[in-house]
Amino acid sequence: MSRRGWGLVVLFFIGWTLVYANRTVLAPLLVLLEAEWGLSRRELGLFNSLLFLVYWLVQVPAGWLSDRLGPKRVLVPTFLLQGLGATAGGLAWSPGSLLGWRMLVGLGQGPYYAAQYALATQEVGTDRRGMAVALINSGMAAGVGLGFLVATAVAFVWGRGWRPALWVLGLATVALAGVMAALVPGDRRRKPVSPARPGRRPLARRELARLYLVGFLGMYGLYTVLTWLPYYLQVACSVPDTRAGALALLVPAAAAPAGVLAGCLSDRLGARLPVLRALFVPAGLALALVVMVPFPLGVVLGATLYGLTGKLAADPLMVSYVADVTPPDQYASAFAALNFAGTAAMVVAPAMTGYLADSTGGFGAAFYLAALFQLAAWVLLGPLKEAAPSN
C-alpha cells in the first residue's frame, strides 16, 4: 500500500471515530435528558432515530453526487456541517431544538460512508483491501468508546451536565474537516465502465441485494446496543452512571481488534463470505445473553461476545465484498446502497426498542428481537457466492 493510502486509512479512521462519537454521546446522557425535560422512552429514542432518518434519506443521493462530482467535493463540506450541528446541539433550549440539531448532524454524516470508502478503496490493492477497510472501520468502535467516555467523564465524573460533551466532540469534528480539506487528495479522473460489464451494476445484482438485507439486520442489532445498553444498565440493572459507561465500553473494546482480525483473515483466505458467515450466530447469542443471564454475568459475556462478532466486526467484510464485485467508478453508489439498507435499521432500532420497553415494561423483548435478526442474517448469507475482485 502506498504512503498516501496509509495516510487515508489513518485519516478516515479518525473520521469514523468522530462520526460514531457524535452518534453515541447521547446514550449515557439519556437519563439527564429524561430528568430535565420529562421525556418518555419512546421520545428519548427519537433523538437518534430522527438523526438516522435524515442520514438514511441522503445515502443514495450522496453516493450519486460522489460518483459525479468527486468524493472529496462532497466529503469535506458535509463533514464540516456535521461538526457545526453537533456543536449547536449543546445550545438546545428544548427537546424540539435538540431534535433539529441532531437531524443536521445526520445530514452532515450522510455522505461520509460512500465518499470515504470510494476514496480509500481506489488507493488500496485488492490483496490488502480487507485489512485496510477493517483498520478504517475500527474507528467506529473507537468512536463508540470515545462517545461513551466523553459523555461519562464530562457529565458524571466532572458534573458539567450534558451540553459540554456535545461541544467537545462538535468542535473536534469541525477541526478535522479542515484537516481533510488540506490532506485528502483531489478527485482523480476515472475511466468509464466497459459496456462488457453490464452485470456489474451494483443496484441490480441479486447477491448485493441479499447482502444489503443482511446489512439491515446486522445494523439493527448494533443500534439496539449502542442506543440503549447504557440506559438499560442505569435503569433496569441500577448500575451507577460511571460504571454503566464503563461496561458499555466492552462492545467497542472487543470489536476493534476483532474487525481487523476478520479483515486480515479474509485477505489471507482470498474470500469474505466464510468469515462473515461465522459471525452472525454468535452475535445473536450475545444479544440474548444480555437480558437472559442475570447481571452482571450476562452483560459482561453478552457485550464482549457481541463486540467480537457483531456488526462492527462484520462490516469490513461486507464493504470488501461490495468492492470486490463493483466497478471502481460505481464504488460510491454501491457503498451508499449498502449503507442505505443498514441505516434503515438505525432509524427503526432506537424507536422500536423504546416502544417495546414501554409496552412490555422491560428490555427483554427488544433484545430477543435483535438476536433473532442476527440469525435471519446468517440464513440469508447461505446462498451467496464468492466473486473475483472487479479490479
What's the CATH code of the domain at 336?
Answer: 1.20.1250.20
Tens digits of residue pLDDT in 159-177: 888 889 999 999 999 999 9
Q: Is residue 195 part of a domain?
A: no
User: Which has the higher per-residue pLDDT, 133 or 21?
Assistant: 21
Number of compact structural domains in the chain = 1
What is the value of pTM for the model shown? Answer: 0.74
* Spatial distance between the Cα atoms of 319 and 269, rounded to a whole number of angstroms: 16
pLDDT level of residue 284 (50, 70, 90 thresholds): very high
Domain presence at residue 387: no
- C-alpha–C-alpha distance, residues 297 and 302, integer Å: 8
Mean pLDDT, range 81-90, rounded to an integer: 92
Domain of residue 270 covers 3-185+202-381
Q: Is residue 194 part of a domain?
A: no
Whether the link from the prior residue into 296 is cis, omega within 30° of 0, is: yes
Mind listing the pLDDT tens digit for each residue in 66-83? 888 888 899 999 999 999
How far is C-alpha 296 from the geometric centre of its chain's CA atoms? 26
Q: Is 191 inside any structural domain?
A: no
Q: In this structure, is residue 119 part of a structural domain?
A: yes
Hunting for cell 443536521 — which residue is that? Answer: 104
Report the distance separating Cα 58 and Cα 338, nearest Å: 13
Domain membership flag for residue 391: no
pLDDT at 249 over 50: yes
Out of 39-53, 54-68, 137-151, least confident range: 39-53
Question: Between the CA of residue 348 and those of 103, 227, 343, what are the distances in Å?
Answer: 15, 11, 9
Position 22 scores a pLDDT of: 93
Give the mean pLDDT of 299-321. Answer: 89
